Amino acid sequence: MNAQVSFQQVDVFTEVPFKGNPVAVVLDGSGLSTDEMQTIANWTNLSETTFVCSPTDPKADYSLRIFTPQSELPFAGHPTIGSAFALLKHGFKPKTPGGLVQECGSGLVSIHIDADKLFLTLPEPIIHSIDHAELADMASALGVPLTNVRASASIDVGAKWITLQLSNTDEVRSLRPDMSRVAALTPAGVTGVAVFGLAVPNTDSFVEVRSFAPGEGIAEDPVCGSGNGCVAVLMRQLGLIEESNYVASQGYCVGRNGRVEVRYEENGKILLGGHAVTCIEGKLHL
């Protein structure tokens, strides 16, 4: 090809450039083939690269295709927030003021515009238990005693994560996983492993999260939307949160300072979002 398309690299779940999770956003991907999209995603080498395309559903504002360096995902959280932010910054006008509707592999995702923040509505979760032997193997690969895994589930919110509660924030931060074993133990169709621990009271976040997806070419996702979504689902199921909202921190171990805001709605829905900031803007030469 010999063309140019508008491009932004957006840092998500932060107000401070270079402290969140970057996503590469190609703002007009309709003319690109799947192979071309995958090649670009492999080249950017970010956890996700997205391509904004024309929707097929009349209720949607746009369609979004989401790629890791190795494969396409039906849904992911921080690319959804970052792509919506990039579109709005580029001058896109929603069909309905105050919100956007994204079409993706998981269906339609509603995005709420709240002043300078964006919140996605988490897809309806599917929750499964984890076999004891498989859980023991994964705990060993993470380098944590099985007795310190307080709760576990395999949760699908469009992206599927093995989701584990550990003893506390310090244990989450001290993990040094064997990434080759984590990749080998991650079942087909599962993005990776999301671990969390509750923080001590009176800190600026309620929970610490880390997300490992070496099977997708991402050893550690700096600040993961879908992983945090799975954590929010499990925390609600376990009754760990009494408030209608909380803030999760993620990225400390990779030099970031992400903040993910979670809101539990009265209708049972979970909203997840926060700030975003553009770090690169220009043209991608194809």
Pick the catalytic residue: 36, 48, 72, 243?
48
Report the 10 Å Cβ neighbour count for 283. 10
What is the rounded distance in angstroms from the CA atom of residue 40 to the CA atom of residue 38?
Answer: 5
Residue 216 appears among annotated catalytic residues: no
**Residue 242 Cα distances to 43, 232, 237, 264, angstroms:** 43, 12, 12, 10
What stretches of the chain show up as alpha helix (H) in DSSP?
34-44, 77-89, 132-142, 169-174, 179-185, 225-238
Amino acid making up residue 236 = R
In the chain, what is the straight-line distance between the N-terminal and C-terminal CA atoms, in Å?
6
Structure tokens at 63: 């369609």
Catalytic residues: 48
